[in-house]
Chain A
Amino acid sequence: MSVEFGIIGQQLVNGLTLGGMYALLALGYTLVYGILLMINFAHAEMFMFGAYVGLFTLQGLSRIEFFTSSGPALLLLYVLTFLIAMVVTGILGVIIERFAYRPLRHAPRLAPLISAIGVSLFLQNAALLWISSRSIPFPVLFEVRTFRIAGANISSMQILIIVTTILLMLVLDTFVSRTRLGRAMRATSQDRDAAGLMGVDINRVIALTFFIGPALGGAAGIFSGMYYGNIKYNMGFIPGIKSFTAAVIGGIGNLRGAMLGGFLLGLLESLAAAYISTGYKDVIAFAILIVVLIFKPGGLLGESVAEKV
């Protein structure tokens, strides 16, 4: 019996780790969709880009001896890596918005979607051609310990990922619900024109959205690199579509929905991989998506968004 529980517990922890990454990436999709009503197809590439920036930052900074000398310095190194990668990825997001999406703001909805696919193709191939076509190992500079709790092996890496993910989500949730800029974002998402008339600088809010989403996606990319030990130019594709799926399952446009959807999808996928089939692991997400969209088209928490036409 305890063996059985061990497998379930193990898959739950794995699922939470995976779900955390999906949730972080899903937040970017849901933020952009909430405000511009477009699927930012290029968001999956933010995951990849963030991982690459994280890798290069880590490699660059770890050359400085101070950062690897002691525990707290190592922590500082990781905090710096995350900050730099998130900011750089965020800036890339803002640049993409400025040049690929802003000219299309009044265009029919198919146009920005196709533009986004173009950006995604461009970034993926830029990484392929200019960095490497092969997967690059992602170094882990601290010792990963494994704890055995209730028959499940939980690594310190998993704990780090889950805790940081939740921390980032709390920060975002507080920012959106408590601050002035967050209120501007919510207003813009409800009615862009009306928010503009009330003195909200729409372009700034949209740019901010395109900063926050990619920054979180970039963080998820670094987690993925640390967790799986390597990164590749096309690493964003599958997590990208799954995270979008997660955002839709939770109710697109709804931040807490994206978090819920991400964790749910991660958990279901891990359990399915253990109990159904690893070969069809990637099919699970799409199957769930289709079922959710048929029975609850607004998503699990997306009641209020469904009314928006």
Chain B
Amino acid sequence: MTAIKNGIQSVTGFFSTRPGKIAFYVVLALFTLLMPVYFQSVGNAFMVRIFALVGIYVLLALGLNIVVGYAGLLNLGYIAFYAVGAYAGMNLGFLMQELLMGLGFLGEKPENWSYWALLPFAAVPGAVAGIMIGGPVLRLRGDYLAIVTLGFGEIVRIAITNNIGGITNGASGLPAIGQRVAPVAGQEWARLNLSSGNFIFSKDLYWYYIIVALVLFAVLVITRLDNSRLGRAWVAMREDEVAAASVGVNILTTKLWAFALGAAWGGIAGHTYAYWVGFISPESFNFMESVLVVCMVVLGGMGSIPGTILGAVIITAAPEVIRAMAASPAFSGILTAEQASLVGDYRFLIFGGLMVVMMAIRPQGILPSKRRARELHPVDEKVLAQENQQLWEAEHKHNTDSDIL
């Protein structure tokens, strides 16, 4: 046991030194950037898609982490913002296309508006949806907020299924027959110029790099937010709303900012997903997705960016990786294909159990933020007793002093 412990300690010790940290980040960056190229070159397009999907969920989890991790507001309908972003971007794209065609700018070959041009139009409706739902309900206490956001998520999904305003095409999804999503700029160029031999610089690979860039941007923005005045206000509010309010934090606007900024990232993720996959339907935005994103944040560690990313990677990739591994000849002896698909089927069951166990033994998550860890750990009875003892002694001493006086 001690040998193992010492081994682990020396490894973690190495990674906490400066060269160790640099080595770790270099390896991580190389892995992130080159693994999909490797998979593409061996013709495993499926794994490339998994990498891109993980990226989308990392974006979503980072967005939700603002709301749940920083501001401490449990949002169980987060996927609604993902849906709003996806549908807003697509609809505006089609609208612009028709407008331009009507004005005669586009000739015979109708082109949709590009992903980049519409990105703000996905983020802003997401944020607006966040403010719209946040405004009236943010005065509610934590649990009520959770249930109202859950309700809101369901309302959005039902509205989409019922083809609200005639823009969502109901359960059959977008784009409707005859409509087409524009390819993202540079994709065709990359395919022609960066492919060589068997290696094709595919659409999925190109999107993967766009998503990685977005994740890096999100990490940058959210880290800056965390260290800003607003970020400190979020933490203060999360720890004690009354105390925060009494030192001048405007609770309502601070909460609204958290909702709006979190929702904006949801919108961006939705838009990116829609343009990457080229198809969206209400089924992709059900309550389970919201729960999964919450799981990612909780499993990784609320309020911690590396933790959130790790949580998203584990939850999105684990079942797929296990399934893919079982299919590969190298692992055929360990897991049969049936066992592997069973793991895929059981993942929600496992997640459910994991959430319970996690909350009981490590409520702060795998890679917790230091401050959040202290907050989330159950009050230790021994520590409490000790503190009470000290308090009693202090009071007692005070009393005897006053007797003498």
Contacts and interface: CB of A to CB of B under 8 A. Distances in A.
Contacts of B146: 39, 113
Contact of A121 (B74, B151, B154, B349): B349
A35 to B, nearest CB: 14
A144 interface: no
A289 B291 CA distance: 21
B348 A121 contact: yes
A123 to B, nearest CB: 8
Interface in A67-100: 99-100
Contacts of A244: 147
A260 interface: no
A205 interface: no
B287 A290 contact: no
Interface stretch (B119-127, B223-231, B328-336, B373-381): B373-381
A245 B152 CA distance: 12
Main secondary structure of the interface of B (DSSP, over half): helix
Interface stretch (B185-193, B196-204, B254-262, B352-360): B352-360
Interface string A262-290: 00000000000000000110110111011
B346 A129 contact: yes
Nearest to A122: B352
A60 interface: no
B359 A280 contact: no
A37 B349 CA distance: 26
A121 B144 contact: no
B370 interface: no
Interface stretch (B87-95, B109-117, B135-143, B210-218): B135-143
Given A104-B359, A108-B376, A290-B151, A118 B143 contact: no
A6 interface: no
Contacts of B142: 109-110, 113
A121 B137 contact: no
A108 B136 CA distance: 25
A122 B375 CA distance: 27
Given A103-B360, A110-B74, A125-B346, A241 B151 contact: yes
Nearest to B351: A121
B154 A282 contact: yes
B247 to A, nearest CB: 20
Interface stretch (B28-36, B49-57, B155-163, B388-396): B155-163
Contact of B363 (A107, A122, A129): A107
Contact of A125 (B140, B352, B355): B352
Contact of B345 (A129, A286, A294): A129
Given A107-B376, A115-B355, A121-B348, A289 B363 contact: no
A93 B180 CA distance: 51
Interface string A183-197: 000000000000000
Contacts of B298: 114
A111 interface: yes
A147 B352 CA distance: 46
Contacts of A207: none
A100 B151 CA distance: 25
A61 interface: no
Q: Pick from B74, B147, B351 the residue with the most CB of A within 10 Å.
A: B147
A119 B151 contact: no
B155 A286 contact: yes
Contacts of A115: 355-356, 359-360
Contacts, number: 131
Interface size class of B (residues with CB under 8 A): 35 or more
A178 interface: no
Contacts of A106: 378-379
B294 interface: yes
Q: Pick from A33, A120, A121 the residue with the most CB of B within 10 Å.
A: A121
B194 to A, nearest CB: 42
A38 B146 CA distance: 11
Interface size class of A (residues with CB under 8 A): 35 or more
B101 interface: no
A110 B154 contact: no
B148 interface: yes
A124 B144 CA distance: 23
A166 interface: no
B282 interface: no
B162 A280 contact: yes
A227 interface: no
B74 A113 contact: yes
Contacts of B148: 286, 289-290, 293
Contacts of B359: 100, 104, 107, 111-112, 114-115, 118
A100 B72 CA distance: 22
B150 interface: yes
A109 to B, nearest CB: 6
Contacts of A103: 360, 378
A283 B155 contact: yes
Contacts of A279: 158, 161-162
A105 B359 CA distance: 11
A114 B353 contact: no
Interface string A287-305: 1011001100100000000
B352 A289 contact: no
Contacts of A123: 352
B356 A118 contact: yes
A241 B376 contact: no
A283 B158 contact: yes
A37 B144 CA distance: 11
Interface of B: 72, 74, 136-137, 139-140, 142-144, 146-148, 150-152, 154-155, 158-159, 161-162, 287, 291, 294, 298, 345-346, 348-349, 351-356, 358-360, 363, 375-379
Closest 3 CB pairs of A and B: A118-B355, A122-B352, A121-B352
22 contacts: A100-B356, A103-B360, A104-B363, A107-B363, A111-B359, A113-B146, A114-B355, A115-B359, A118-B359, A119-B352, A119-B356, A120-B352, A122-B356, A237-B287, A279-B158, A283-B158, A286-B151, A286-B152, A286-B154, A287-B155, A293-B144, A297-B144
Given A39-B146, A294-B137, 6 more contacts: A33-B143, A115-B360, A118-B354, A119-B352, A279-B158, A283-B159
